[in-house]
Amino acid sequence: MKLYLVQHGEALSKDIDLDRPLSEAGREDVERLASFLAGKVRVARVLHSGKVRAWQTAEILAASLVPDLKVEEFGGLSPNDPVEPFVQHVEEWSEDLLVVGHLPFMAKLAIRLTAGADENSIVAYRPGSIVCLETDNETGWKVQWMIRPELLPDAPIAISPSSF
């Protein structure tokens, strides 16, 4: 099973919009990530926290990775939520999954799954980053790779959802 942990793209500040949707730069970063991952990553489910910026990020990624897949709001993915309840859900699933959330939750989840603790981070998230964890259920979770927006090519975007 692969678990793709995504920090939502860069959002507008609360001073501009209290709902904090993706900024133009954030949308562009996530679209470049979606374009880069298209054809390389397939998932059975795409979950998000319910916050606008996470929902928008999930929609952009899902439209590129699995176009017919409906994204799902999933409780317990907010920035300061405890990771243990989500870890219990993950242990029950067997299909590849993409989760869009926030810091510090995503970093704590990555360290909890790979090292058994949630005190220090092992990944350097920034908005629009993705970490791929994989398990064979015998040796535990391992970090397979990570992509941050600055690593992506400035190629034309193949997808541009207009329903946001």
8-42 b/e (C-beta count within 10 Å ≥ 16 → b): bbbbbeeeeeeebbbbeebbbbbbbbbbbbbeebe
CATH number for the region 2-11+20-74+83-112+128-151 comes to 3.40.50.1240
The pLDDT of residue 118: 59
The pLDDT of residue 153: 83
pLDDT tens string 19-58 = 999 999 999 999 999 999 999 999 999 999 999 999 999 9
Question: Quick one: tokens of 142?
Answer: 């391992």
The phi, psi pair for 64, rounded to 5°, reads -90, -40
Residue 8 pLDDT greater than 60, yes or no: yes
Residue ranges per structural domain of the chain? 2-11+20-74+83-112+128-151
87: CB partners within 8 A, 6+ apart: 109, 112, 113
Provide the pLDDT confidence category of residue 73 given band limits of 50, 70 and 90. Answer: very high
For tokens 């679209």, what's the residue? 31
Mean pLDDT of 72-77: 97
pTM score of the predicted model? 0.88
